Chain A
Amino acid sequence: MKTLIIILMSSVLVNNYVLSRFLGICPFLGVSKKLDQATGMGISVTAVMLLATAFTWPIQYFVLDKLGLGYLQTIIFILVIAALVQMLELFLKKVSPSLHKGLGVYLPLITTNCAVLGVAINNITDGYNFIEAMVSSLGCGLGFLLAMVLFSGMRSRIDESKVPAPFKGIAITLIAASFISLAFMGFSGIVDNLFA
């Protein structure tokens, strides 16, 4: 139980995928303009991460490792993720059109979100068991959501302020992101000490 809490907390706060590992930067910069967009993207990413891990972990251990096909990891994982995203979209469209309306628009973007593939691969390289891998995926998704929501608040302030011409757009956004990342650095070490 303790390890699970440590994995969860460290993937949410310390090793935040966006702010310290630079995974999923594109949607972080692209879809964080408004709070509702940021939340929608964050929830979608979390769901896909969990789903992706639930499929890729068994595939790695029961198919690829058994057959000695470890070198197919990247190809299989990205195909599985792409297929999952497609299916999730169709499923949502059928079952809950309202949810699809809210989240569906973000789903096609997630296929090429490196955070999802990153989670799937990292769970294998870190040697997590299935439960730990699921917890780690949940943590990474929540960390992504947290970063998105926090950053959307910052973005709305930036949009209202006067920015020097060269910094308009991406430049000032990146510098703002750098400050959030700086704040998250304060978490490093906290998890180990909290639960040690």
Chain B
Amino acid sequence: MKNNSNLGILLKGIIKENPVLVLILGTCPTLATTTNVVGAFGMGIAALTVLVCSNMLISLLRKIIPETVRIPCYIVIIAGFVTIVEMIVHAYFPALYDMLGVYLALITVNCIILGRAEMFAGKNSVGKSALDGLGMGIGFTLALVAMSTVREVLGNASFAGIPIPFMEPFKIEIMTKAPGGMLVYGLLIALVFVITRGKAPLKKSFSCAGCPSAGHCTASGACNTEVKEEQAQ
């Protein structure tokens, strides 16, 4: 957080600290919902909404919430917003709801959201937290759309449900299946590394289960035990 200007806060989530491709967070929805562009975009927007709302509310309450019950409070707030988003999607976008299934509810345990709450919203003003949530959400959405584009075009010869006829003979169906997801994700991460050439802080280790707080929470956070353990070894 060298650049604390508002624009900087917004942009760092999109490029420099892209949650999916650089920080490697929220891997579960990234892999599960990117079989087609529509689902991925929907997932991204849903997560963005939850992220912005929870960031703002947590930032607003950061002086009231006691340190000891911090995590449960965050979880309740996040789960609440997730459920609200879930109900709205269910009511107004039933097709998307069917497509995302359980992954919508699982935004609750998406590490990006809890991570931003712990790392940013708990320490910064409401406005900045909202911007941070927006930036991270856009970054998450863009990464999901990029990945789903690769998977849908190659695997299903279509983009957002619109068929691409000349791709039809070259369909690689495995791309829409589980192995294809992991393969594309791995290749995209490598590609981002090549493009940024080390400018982005590449995460080499998965300590703390890829928790965003890894760098910050060793002293205070919930998952410090794991890091200590690794360091001990």
Q: A residues touching B (Cβ–Cβ < 8 Å)?
A: 19-27, 29-31, 33-34, 71-75, 78-79, 82, 104-106, 108-109, 111-114, 117-118, 121-122, 125, 165-175, 177-179, 181-182, 184-185
Nearest chain B residue, comparing its CB with the CB of A23:
B28
Q: Contact at B182–A166, with CB atoms within 8 Å? A: no
Q: Contact at B202–A169, with CB atoms within 8 Å? A: yes
Binds A, one of B56-64, B105-113, B133-141: B105-113
Nearest chain B residue, comparing its CB with the CB of A110:
B209
Kindly list chain A residues whose C-beta atoms are within 8 Å of the C-beta of B162: none
Q: Whole-angstrom distance from the CB of A105 to the nearest CB of chain B?
A: 5
Q: Contact at B205–A27, with CB atoms within 8 Å? A: no
Q: Whole-angstrom distance from the CB of A156 to the nearest CB of chain B?
A: 14
Given pairs A171-B190, A182-B174, 13 additional interface contacts (CB within 8 A):
A21-B32, A25-B27, A33-B206, A75-B80, A108-B222, A109-B211, A117-B105, A122-B102, A167-B190, A168-B204, A170-B186, A171-B187, A178-B181
Bin the interface of chain B by size: 35 or more
Q: Contact at A109–B105, with CB atoms within 8 Å? A: no
Let me know if B185 is at the binding interface, CB within 8 A: yes
Count chain B CB atoms within 10 A of each CB in A112, A165, A177 and give the residue with the most.
A112
Nearest chain B residue, comparing its CB with the CB of A175:
B186
**Contacts A/B (CB < 8 Å), 25 sampled:** A21-B32, A22-B28, A25-B28, A26-B209, A29-B206, A30-B208, A31-B206, A31-B226, A33-B206, A71-B83, A105-B225, A109-B223, A112-B209, A113-B109, A114-B109, A165-B193, A166-B193, A166-B194, A170-B186, A172-B186, A174-B182, A174-B186, A178-B180, A181-B178, A185-B179
